[in-house]
Amino acid sequence: MQTATEVGMNHSGMDAAPDAEEMLENTELTDPRGDEREAAKVRAEYVAEAGPVGTLPQAEAPLMLLMDKLGERLAFERSGTRLYDALMMKCKAAGAKIPAKELQHIRDEEAMHFALCGAAIQSLGGDPTEQTPCADIAGVEGMGLVQVLTDPRTTVAQCLHAILVAEMTDNAAWEELIELTLPTGNDDLVARFRKAQANEAEHLEKVRGWYKAATLNGGG
């Protein structure tokens, strides 16, 4: 497989196109009509009419945001486990110099965080199998990451870039969860979340290092 970006036959730019001169004429040949802000108006109408992506049926009012965010974290950590599954496969196939044990360790911690979120939701009277609105949207966000990690053509560096996006989000999200849990007075949960946050800080540091090393190796 390809491990670094190389020079080749990229056809997407105009410098490489034999018909670039004719293409340039398009700008002169078009006399545009209308105001480009029209699309924003249409979009705003849809925003005004839109309902939410979904609701939370079981949470008590003071816990609603926390439950929604716990659902989001559960979904993100579960998908994160699968992203690391894909990264481990990619690193192995590419012969990357990233210790497999360390990747496995991070992957297993992601899976444990998934289980931790499920247990936390249950302890607060919620249903961990429920897809909350924030969980649903986190799934939409994560689709691009899944695509990058599972594409056979992507380099290890490109995959690490995608993982970096996930880890940076992870770090911010655990911090937010701790802030939301503190007012509930549930010290045990806060302590467990702080441990997860510490794990995530380590993940981020390692991924940053691996990404930097892979990029310096010409990984793109």
Partner 1 sequence: MKGILQEKGVALEKQRLTWRDLVQKPISKLDDDAYTRVRIILMNGIELEASRFSHAAARMNPPALQRMLADVRIVEQHQATLINWLIGPDHSPLETTIAYEQVAIDVTAGVAMREPDPYLAQVYRFGLLEDFDHMYRYSALLDRLEGKDANNILQSYTDILPARPTIEHHRAPQDNLRKPYDRKSAAPLSKLHALTIMAAEQQTHNFYMNIGPMYADPVARQLYAEIASVEEQHVTQYESIIDPEESWLEKWVLHEVGEVYNYYGCMQQETNPRIKALWERFCDYELGHLQVALAAFKKFEKRDPEEILPTELPEPIPFASQREFVRETLANEVDLRANGTEIVEKSKESKASLQYRKEVNADGSPSETISAGYRWAPGSELKLKVA
Asked if 81 is part of the footprint of partner 1 (rule: CB under 8 A), the reply reads yes
Stretch of residues binding partner 1 (CB under 8 A), selected from 58-66, 142-150, 194-202, 206-214? 142-150
Asked if 151 is part of the footprint of partner 1 (rule: CB under 8 A), the reply reads yes
Q: Is the dihedral of CA 169, 175, 180, 186 positive or negative?
A: positive
Distance CA 98, CA 202 (A): 15
| Joined tokens for residue 130 | 């429920």
What contacts 120, CB < 8 A, 6 or more positions away?
70, 189, 192, 193
Nearest alpha-carbon partner for 112 in 139, 78, 87, 83: 78
Please list every residue from 20 through 49 that binds partner 1, using CB under 8 A: 46, 49
Least Cβ distance, residue 171 to partner 1 (angstroms): 19
Asked if 219 is part of the footprint of partner 1 (rule: CB under 8 A), the reply reads no
The DSSP code for 57 is: S
**Residue among 148, 159, 177, 214 that touches partner 1 (CB under 8 A):** 148
| Joined tokens for residue 201 | 């800080």
Q: Which residues bind partner 1 (CB under 8 A)?
A: 46, 49-55, 74-75, 78-83, 85-86, 111-112, 114-115, 118, 128-133, 136-137, 139-140, 142-143, 146-148, 150-152, 154
